[in-house]
Structure 1
Amino acid sequence: MGLVPVKTPKFLKRLFPNYIWDLPNEDKVLYLTFDDGPTPEITHWVLNILNSYNAKATFFCIGANIDKHPDIFQSILKEGHSIGNHTYNHLKGWKTEKEAYLKNVSACDEVFKSQIATTESSSINLFRPPYGKITNKQGKALIKQGYKIIMWDILSFDWDTNLSEAACLKNVINKSKSGSIIVFHDSKKSSKNMMYALPKVLEHFSGQGYTFKAIY
């Protein structure tokens, strides 16, 4: 897992206070998020598992994937989950000029508008930078446009092919607490670890009286 920690350290949250890292509460609520979809078969599998636990989540979608799989995107909406912008092409902010980055975010937003009724699409203001890599200028510009930049409290590392399924599960169960924003991916690369860990995370925390809510 290298230098990136499973649980975001407090100093980093204080360093970037305009970004949302967690949603502290005393009501035993966790916030599951899924990046990089929609993806054939995998996203539907996630939706079915969430539904079996009456859990809601937030899907940070790539615009190009929505264009390829609009039916899966519609399934996310019909199941009552929230959605967020993850750029059109999964750009690395650190390697992209500000204007090009903002244009790519806008392209994803246009896909949302083409898929959702105007009254609903106007309220989609969640954004997560791919890889968590975003410059200060990009972040400030997006916040000025009305976006809430949603980062995370817990990384499952489901995408790490060198990580075992059990270790992926342990990352989430051992580090999460009420208010944690947890990152999974509904992508092919992450599917092995995610499909093992997600049902067990839902079972474990549901058994402890937790509920799973979407971010708005």
Structure 2
Amino acid sequence: VFDTAGGGRSVLSLPLSLTPASPGRGSRAGGGGWQNLRVEESLGMVKPPEGSHAGWNSRPYVDDEPVNYLRYGCNSVDRSVAITIDDGPDPNNTPKVLDTLASLDIKATFFLVVANAAAWPDIVKRMVAEGHTVGLHTWSHKNLTQVWEDKDWDTMRTEIDEAAVTLESITGQPVRYFRPPYGAVNEGVREYLWERGLTVVMWNTGCVDWYYRDAEKEVPPIMHGISDAGAIVCMHDTQPSAVAEIEALAGILQGRLEGTSPSAAHPIASLEHCIGHDTGFGEGGPAENATDADACNCNCTEPAKEEA
């Protein structure tokens, strides 16, 4: 339970040592909600029961592994661009961003810091009501690779499991997508997230607004980073330049779409469309889609290798 008037302060901790119901530890099978587990120090993956898709992940499996586990870019036929927005909600900037998205008829994905979401739940509910996707960006924006290396399992549960419970209570929807703060993931963090059925969404262009703080300087490198296959764009609604950045980016992409060079066109679409979750799942599990690097920061522009 959270005191939203007190800035999202937790006034009643959720029980983090519950013994989960079958099937398996920490299961979300059948969309029945999150159940927290006691983290083991080993990295062993928990697989679903033999001959069943029940277990950590209620999504389809390919060769007994969840598909589309870690995504860096788009794989849509129409080479679409998905706009993803991190770190909010911000009480000053996010409503303006939502107004802008509505005026442009753009559906974005918001990766929320849940401490902020608990403090301003009405903004989160507006996101859902207006058709945007809401994803998880941890409870307080901690670097999860450091948390894992410190073996701080209580913090790991707070940042992911308890945060997911809270976010679902606000949106009324299951949490499906996750973006790690700073793009930082290692093998242990990837498996922790995989076991919870989360698709980890990185980006392959953007995430420069924190540095430039000026839309005129932010948009050119974003456009440069859009590949022939499309792109997942990262930006932040905590930055005052977010509205101008969205307007400028949309203007360029729409102009190309209406122009005489179809080869340069990239329609703006939802994240689900961009990665194929609205029409079906592509093949590939964690091994195929994961990056070899232990971490990726905001300067990362190299996408992981993915099947064509």
By the TM > 0.5 criterion, same fold? yes
In the alignment, structure 1 segments of 5+ residues that lack a partner are: 1-16
> Is it true that 1:134 corresponds to 2:185 in the alignment?
yes
Counterpart contact for 1:87–1:107, Cα < 8 Å:
no
Confirm or deny: 8 A CA contact 2:71 2:201 kept in the other structure.
Answer: yes
3-state SS, counterpart of residue 81 of structure 2? strand
- So what's the TM-score if we normalise by structure 1? 0.82
Task: State the identity as a percent.
Answer: 25
Shift of residue 164, structure 1, vs aligned partner: 4.5
Which residue number in structure 2 is paired with residue 35 of structure 1? 86
Per-residue Cα deviation, 1:105-151 (whole angstroms, up to 9, x for no partner): 1121111222133xxx23x2100000111221011111121000000
Q: 2:217 maps to which residue?
A: 167
Conservation of the 8 A alpha-carbon contact between 1:32 and 1:58:
yes
Is 1:207 aligned with 2:263?
no
Secondary structure in 2 aligned to 1:39? Answer: coil
Are 2:107 and 1:56 equivalent residues in the alignment? yes
Structure 1 segment 1-216 matched on structure 2, within 5 A: 18-97=69-148, 99=153, 100-117=155-172, 121-122=173-174, 124-161=175-212, 164-177=214-227, 178-187=229-238, 190-192=239-241, 194-209=242-257, 210-216=266-272
**Number of residue pairs the alignment of both structures matches:** 192
1:71/1:164 CA distance change after superposition, 3 Å: closer
Comparing 49-58 with 31-40, greater Cα deviation is found at 49-58
1:173 to partner: Cα distance: 2.0
* Residues 124 and 171, structure 2, Cα contact 8 Å, conserved in 1: no
Please, which moves more after superposition, 18-27 or 72-81?
18-27
Higher share in helix:
1
> 1:184 deviation in Å?
0.5
Superposed structure 1 runs of 4+ greater than 4 Å apart: none
The answer to whether the Cα contact below 8 Å between 1:91 and 1:101 also exists between their aligned partners in 2 is: no
Higher relative contact order (CA 8 A, sep 6+): 1
CA apart distance, 1:198: 1.6
Q: Who wins on radius of gyration, i.e. which is larger? A: 2
TM superposition shift of 1:179: 2.6
Paired residue type of 1:73? V
Paired amino acid for 1:203: G
Q: Which amino acid aligns with 1:211?
A: P
Return 5+ residue gaps in structure 2 as ranges: 1-67, 258-265, 273-308
- The secondary structure found in structure 2 opposite 1:104 is helix
CA 1:106/1:213 → structure 2, altered by over 3 Å: closer, same or farther?
same
Amino acid in structure 2 at the alignment position of 1:51: A
RMSD: 1.8
Other structure's SS at 2:111 match: strand
Distance 1:90 1:112 in 2: 14
TM-score (norm 2): 0.59
